């Protein structure tokens, strides 16, 4: 019997129970609205007021629903009911924070109207969560696939909404700001990554403007592409009843939740990787010739996103050499057509590299392999645990150890052949092995293996739900039982983290060294300093972030937003583009990635610079002062987020920059307050 059927057959569906639920919902809405407006009118912060109102209203509703007068007719145990209440309330609270900030920051609604809408939305969601208690232990630990179906629908919808409502309210991470700078210096190639991420960002900021929502919207779309091809692959391998579970995993596992929210090259890479695995399976296992055309597009677009997708092609070649049935494709024209399509799509990057001494290929190949020794295997393993959770790791081990259980878990109409199993395991394990080997002597990034696990999703989908054919081993049974709780914990973690970043929690401080937290006002402060210097001297200074690319990228974006706000208020056209006036510390022999090409050092001679740094020594060193004729006294700017300190930065104005040392000290110039 399903959750909905249980509800339909219970007395709760009677008129009396509907009246009780409606009364509780209305009461909760009124209490929430009154408390929030009362506190907000008494100069409580928006965050504290809405948090207090929500928790008081939720607690009041739970208490009253436990009384004899308003108690519903559910047969839930008290402990199950309490757990469902806590989980539901927290999930709604975290989502409500995103809704509230989106209404204020992106739609420019007044705080009062935004509060009214968000309170109404959370009241409705609270009633739904109370009527259908899908997060109680009695509901999520079950043997029914239909119950899991309703549970999974709720998980997917919540994960999608959570991402959507935080797209525009969460400040950009510095990587996103850096790729936004890519889009502002639009090209067919870049030093450290191919251009797809820049092209996608450029498209959406052209349509929506320079804001966080526009920068991230491409990642949101890429997630849907990833989910679609993961569904199709799982449907081919394990059957359509399991395909729904793959969507849950793509929606909730950290590896895929993050790429649907944060706009980096990994977002389009993930979509193309999922597409390529699906077409490889169609071509090599189903032997569908047209699949090679789709594969060519998937690999070509993937190489425009990130070079690592080439490992998928190498893995496929290894499988073709090992598999007798697949070797015939080496003598057919279809695979070579796929290669031609991929190369045509990838040709802009080849052209860019040919014009720039193959800089990008060398940077990602030779330079990375020839770097300093760094044993990063522990961090690499920790990254995998973070990406697919410990439950995911144990499930992967189970999939490898109990192959027969998984192949016999499907009936004859949907059984994945042994060849298909070997192909997908090769796609998952070969790139992972390459990255693991590299971690023995070089630095690796924790997110590199994220796309690898897409190949194993059809089998993870089988593990994530209890099934009579694959639950004979205790390890498998434990994995199945752990998945629902793992998914719920993941969603709670995402919600808490996002809510903390945008609204904060009472009494919980912000870290002082986290980049791009509280930068809305910081960008305005730096732009004001640059304007003041221009008024005093008649020259607009070049702002220089004194690290590789974090400060420069963030200031370029948030200075741009500050300029937009000031020009809109003054009803004047935008006078300058801060993205074209913000450089990195490559001017002082540091590494600046693409900033080295956007701002060649020789072209900056004799310019005035506004230096910004987290470390004061970067502004006082002889290495910096010997390249400037005059320098101002060092100032300090505090960073604030929701009324809490989020760190500080130092700044210094210098005149007469030279790309080579010219003196040992700089004279001091004064700035008026």
pLDDT digit string (tens) for 117-171?
999 998 888 877 776 666 666 655 555 567 777 788 888 999 999 999 999 999 9
Say if residue 218 is in the same domain as residue 88: no
Instruction: State which of 144, 179, 206 marks the end of a domain.
Output: 144
Say if residue 257 is in the same domain as residue 338: yes
Out of 21-30, 177-186, 355-364, the most confident range is 177-186
> Would you say residue 313 has pLDDT above 70?
yes
pLDDT category at 16 given cuts 50, 70, 90 is low
Say if residue 376 is in the same domain as residue 466: yes
Say if residue 303 is in the same domain as residue 392: yes
**Is 479 among the domain residues?**
no
> Would you say residue 446 has pLDDT above 70?
yes
Please compute the mean of the pLDDT values over residues 617-630 and round it to a whole number.
Answer: 87
Say if residue 344 is in the same domain as residue 382: yes
**Is 321 among the domain residues?**
yes
> Would you say residue 324 has pLDDT above 50?
yes
Say if residue 315 is in the same domain as residue 253: yes
How large a percentage of the chain has pLDDT more than 70? 86
Could you tell me if 642 and 171 are in contact, meaning their C-beta atoms sit under 8 angstroms apart? no
Residues making up the chain, counted from first to last: 673
Closest CA to 115 of 172, 41, 61: 41
**Is 505 among the domain residues?**
no
- Report CA dihedral (84, 88, 91, 97) to the nearest 10 degrees: -150
Q: How many CB atoms lie within 10 A of CB 370?
A: 9
pLDDT category at 573 given cuts 50, 70, 90 is low
Instruction: State which of 439, 455, 470 marks the end of a domain.
Output: 470
Alpha-carbon distances, residue 520 vs 95, 202, 375, 517 (angstroms): 22, 21, 38, 8
Identify the burial level of 485 via C-beta atoms within 10 angstroms of its C-beta, where 0-12 means exposed, 13-18 middle and 19 or more buried. middle
Please compute the mean of the pLDDT values over residues 42-48 and round it to a whole number.
Answer: 87
Higher pLDDT, 68 or 535: 535
- Predicted confidence at residue 499, as pLDDT, reads 95
User: Phi then psi for 632, rounded to 5 degrees?
Assistant: -80, 170
Say if residue 431 is in the same domain as residue 296: yes
Say if residue 183 is in the same domain as residue 328: yes
Please state the domain count of the chain.
Answer: 3
> Would you say residue 294 has pLDDT above 80?
yes
**Is 546 among the domain residues?**
yes
Helix (H) or strand (E) holding 379: helix 377-401
Instruction: State which of 109, 144, 179 marks the end of a domain.
Output: 144
- Predicted confidence at residue 71, as pLDDT, reads 58
Say if residue 107 is in the same domain as residue 253: no
- Give dist(CA 411, CA 413) in Å, integer: 6
- Give dist(CA 270, CA 309) in Å, integer: 9
Instruction: Note the pLDDT tens digit of each residue in 584-622.
Output: 999 998 999 999 999 999 999 999 999 999 999 999 888
Q: How many CB atoms lie within 10 A of CB 673?
A: 3
> Would you say residue 3 has pLDDT above 60?
no
Say if residue 428 is in the same domain as residue 555: no
- Give dist(CA 413, CA 75) in Å, integer: 39
Instruction: Note the pLDDT tens digit of each residue in 247-279.
Output: 999 999 999 999 999 999 999 999 999 999 999
Say if residue 446 is in the same domain as residue 299: yes
**3-class secondary-structure state, position 444:** coil
Could you tell me if 96 and 118 are in contact, meaning their C-beta atoms sit under 8 angstroms apart? yes
**Is 402 among the domain residues?**
yes
- Predicted confidence at residue 2, as pLDDT, reads 41
Higher pLDDT, 18 or 490: 490
Closest CA to 552 of 526, 533, 521, 534: 526
Mean of the per-residue pLDDT values of the chain = 86
**Is 506 among the domain residues?**
no
Could you tell me if 248 and 153 are in contact, meaning their C-beta atoms sit under 8 angstroms apart? no
Say if residue 366 is in the same domain as residue 424: yes
**Is 257 among the domain residues?**
yes
Domain hosting 550: range is 519-669
**Is 101 among the domain residues?**
yes
pLDDT category at 242 given cuts 50, 70, 90 is confident
């Amino acid at each position: 019997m399903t959750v909905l059927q249980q509800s339909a057959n219970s007395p709760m569906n009677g008129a009396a129970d509907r009246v009780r639920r409606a009364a509780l919902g209305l009461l909760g809405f009124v209490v929430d609205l009154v408390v929030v407006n009362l506190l907000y009118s008494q100069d409580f912060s928006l965050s504290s007021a809405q948090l207090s109102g929500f928790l008081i209203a939720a607690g009041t509703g739970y208490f009253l629903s436990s009384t004899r007068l308003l108690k519903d007719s559910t047969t839930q145990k008290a402990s199950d009911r309490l757990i469902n209440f806590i989980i539901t309330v927290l999930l709604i609270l975290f989502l409500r924070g995103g809704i509230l900030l989106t209404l204020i920051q992106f739609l420019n609604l007044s705080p009062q109207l935004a509060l009214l809408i968000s309170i109404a939305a959370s009241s409705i969601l609270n009633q739904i969560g109370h009527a259908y208690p899908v997060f109680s232990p009695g509901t999520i630990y079950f043997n029914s696939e239909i119950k899991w179906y309703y549970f999974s629908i709720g998980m997917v919808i919540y994960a999608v909404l959570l991402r959507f409502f935080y797209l525009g309210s969460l400040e950009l991470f510095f990587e996103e700001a850096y790729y936004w700078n890519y889009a502002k210096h639009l090209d067919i190639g870049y030093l450290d990554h191919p251009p797809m991420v820049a092209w996608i960002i450029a498209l959406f900021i052209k349509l929506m403007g320079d804001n966080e929502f526009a920068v991230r919207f491409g990642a949101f779309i890429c997630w849907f592409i990833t989910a679609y091809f993961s569904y199709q692959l799982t449907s081919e391998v394990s059957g359509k009843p399991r395909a729904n579970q793959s969507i849950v995993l793509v929606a909730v596992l950290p590896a895929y939740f993050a790429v649907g929210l944060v706009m980096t090259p990994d977002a389009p890479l993930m979509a193309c990787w999922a597409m390529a695995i699906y077409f490889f399976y169609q071509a090599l296992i189903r032997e569908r010739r047209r699949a090679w055309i789709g594969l060519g597009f998937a690999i070509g677009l993937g190489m425009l996103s990130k070079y690592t997708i080439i490992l998928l092609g190498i893995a496929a070649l290894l499988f073709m050499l090992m598999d007798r049935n697949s070797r015939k494709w080496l003598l057919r024209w279809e695979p070579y057509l796929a290669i031609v399509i991929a190369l045509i799509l990838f040709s802009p990057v080849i052209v860019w590299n040919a014009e720039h001494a193959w800089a990008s290929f060398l940077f990602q190949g030779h330079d990375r392999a020839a770097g300093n020794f760094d044993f990063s295997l522990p961090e690499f393993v920790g990254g995998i645990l973070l990406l697919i959770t410990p439950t995911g790791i144990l499930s992967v081990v189970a999939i490898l150890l109990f192959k027969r259980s998984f192949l016999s878990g499907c009936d004859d109409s949907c059984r994945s052949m042994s060849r298909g199993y070997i192909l997908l395991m090769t796609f998952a394990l070969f790139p992972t092995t390459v990255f693991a080997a590299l971690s023995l002597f070089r630095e690796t990034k924790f997110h590199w293996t994220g796309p690898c696990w897409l190949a194993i999703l059809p089998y993870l989908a089988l593990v994530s739900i209890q099934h009579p054919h694959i639950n004979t081993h205790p390890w498998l049974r434990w994995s199945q039982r752990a998945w629902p709780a793992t998914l719920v914990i993941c969603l709670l973690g995402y919600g808490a983290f996002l809510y903390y970043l945008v609204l904060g929690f009472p009494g919980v401080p912000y870290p002082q060294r986290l980049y791009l937290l509280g930068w809305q006002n910081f960008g305005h402060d730096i732009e004001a300093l640059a304007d003041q210097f221009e008024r005093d001297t008649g020259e607009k200074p070049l702002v220089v972030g004194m690290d590789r690319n974090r400060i420069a990228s963030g200031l370029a974006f948030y200075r741009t937003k500050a300029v937009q706000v000031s020009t809109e208020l003054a009803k004047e056209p935008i006078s300058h583009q801060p993205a074209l006036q913000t450089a990195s510390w490559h001017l002082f022999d540091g590494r600046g990635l693409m900033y080295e090409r956007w701002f060649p050092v020789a072209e900056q001679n004799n310019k005035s610079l506004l230096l910004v740094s987290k470390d004061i020594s970067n502004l006082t060193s002889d290495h910096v002062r010997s390249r400037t004729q005059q320098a101002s006294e060092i100032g300090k700017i505090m960073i604030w987020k929701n009324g809490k300190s989020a760190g500080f930065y130092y700044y210094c104005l210098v005149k007469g920059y030279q790309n080579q040392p010219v003196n040992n000290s700089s004279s001091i110039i004064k700035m008026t307050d």
